Amino acid sequence: MLIVGLNGSPNKDGDTKFLLNTVLEAAKSLGAQTMILEVQELLNSCKNPFCVACSNPCSGVCYKGTKLEEAYEILKKADAIVMGSPVYFGSVSAQLKAFFDKTRRLRGEKAFYNKIACGVTVGASKYGGQETTMKALHDMMLVHGMTIVGDGYIGDDCGHHGVSAQRPAKEDEFALKRASILAKRLVDACKNKVNE
């Protein structure tokens, strides 16, 4: 079982990465293999990090032979994806948006269809746009036909939309609790999918 985290923050060692690591470490303790992809680094491997719709349908030529192409191949093989973003003006980071704008070819291939997915967000204040950012993450998941899971688990509660923290995330005890519950749900959903 492979669960891949996407760090949509330009900060490699910030709160979003911390929250992603918290979910992934808990999933690893339940038997999953995990890894994190740094979205900004992947975009930097392309000549143009933004989609300009250079071909229709998308040929993927703009990222051919780059680290971004390698990342997309990893995501195709993953059982689940944990998407993480800080709150930027009530939505996802430009980096994460650009990363998904470039997935038009993958969408055409239905590469992420039915893939288990969830989100984590971090804002500067308690009500700092985390839910609208989570909604933007869900929109990207839905456009790819992914199966969204929230931060609920049968042994705990039904949960909500995903894990949202207030900066600094390492001091948000509620978010840390939800991260561990989300990990259980992710691993369980992956196991159930294999058994279908």
Does position 196 have pLDDT exceeding 70, yes or no? Answer: no
- Provide, rounded to the nearest whole percent, the portion of the chain with pLDDT above 70: 98
The whole-number pLDDT of residue 166 equals 96
Write the pLDDT tens digit of every residue in 125-160: 989 999 999 999 999 999 999 999 999 999 999 999
Question: CB of 45 within 8 A of CB of 128?
Answer: no
Q: Which CATH architecture has domain 2-180?
A: 3-Layer(aba) Sandwich (3.40)
Cβ count near 12 (within 10 Å) = 12
* pLDDT 10s digits, 73-115: 999 999 999 999 999 999 999 999 999 999 999 999 999 999 9
Residue found by looking up tokens 């339940």 in the block: 30
Please name the helix (run of DSSP H) or strand (run of DSSP E) that holds residue 122, with its range, or none: strand 116-123
Total-model pTM: 0.94
Residue closest to 5 by CA, chosen among 193, 163, 113: 163
Tokens of 192: 């159930």
Rounded to an integer, the average pLDDT of 182-196 is: 87
Using alpha carbons, list the distances in angstroms from residue 164 to 40, 92, 180, 189. 21, 13, 13, 20
Q: Give the model's pLDDT for residue 54.
A: 84
